[in-house]
Amino acid sequence: SSELTQDPAVSVALGQTVRITCQGDSLRSYYASWYQQKPGQAPVLVIYGKNNRPSGIPDRFSGSSSGNTASLTITGAQAEDEADYYCNSRDSSGNHLGVVFGGGTKLTVL
């Protein structure tokens, strides 16, 4: 099965822009989805597909992709954006079909 690699931790000053990246072979075939998870809560989808935001997600969240790398950008980070962020994608390596998650990035808003 495939793997997705994320930086373990990233920090950003309040109101500034931050990019969180996700690398893996599956991203050459499939778009990444991005989830935000706060302590004690289930994950919440913030970006899916080419660059789509579910209803209720602020437009400061955006996504992009190039080659084997997907990125989540938060433009004008707010204190409430401090959370863990996970990328995922479909995984169809070999005879396997499933989903793969990145290891997660802990975002600190300073």
Partner 1 sequence: EVQLVESGGVVVQPGGSLRLSCAASGFTFDDYAMHWVRQAPGKGLEWVSLISWDGGSTYYADSVKGRFTISRDNSKNSLYLQMNSLRAEDTALYYCAKDIEGGNPSWGQGTLVTVSS
* Residue 31 vs 76, nearer CB to partner 1: 31
Residue selected from 20, 77, 83, 100 as contacting partner 1 according to rule CB under 8 A: 100
Residue selected from 21, 46, 104, 107 as contacting partner 1 according to rule CB under 8 A: 104
Residue selected from 52, 80, 108, 110 as contacting partner 1 according to rule CB under 8 A: 52
Contact 33, 54 (CB under 8 A): no
Contact 14, 81 (CB under 8 A): no
Residue selected from 9, 99, 108, 110 as contacting partner 1 according to rule CB under 8 A: 99
Residue with tokens 């789509």: 52
Secondary structure (DSSP) of 11-75: EE-TTS-EEEEEE-GGGGTS--EEEEE-TTS--EEEEBTTTB--TT--TTEEEEEETTEEEEEES
User: Which residues between 1 and 40 bind partner 1 (CB under 8 A)?
Assistant: 1, 30, 33, 35, 37
Rounded Cα–Cα distance for residues 50 and 33 (Å): 9
Residue selected from 43, 61, 72, 83 as contacting partner 1 according to rule CB under 8 A: 43
Binding residues for partner 1, rule: CB under 8 A, are 1, 30, 33, 35, 37, 42-43, 45, 48-49, 52, 54, 84, 86, 88-90, 96-104
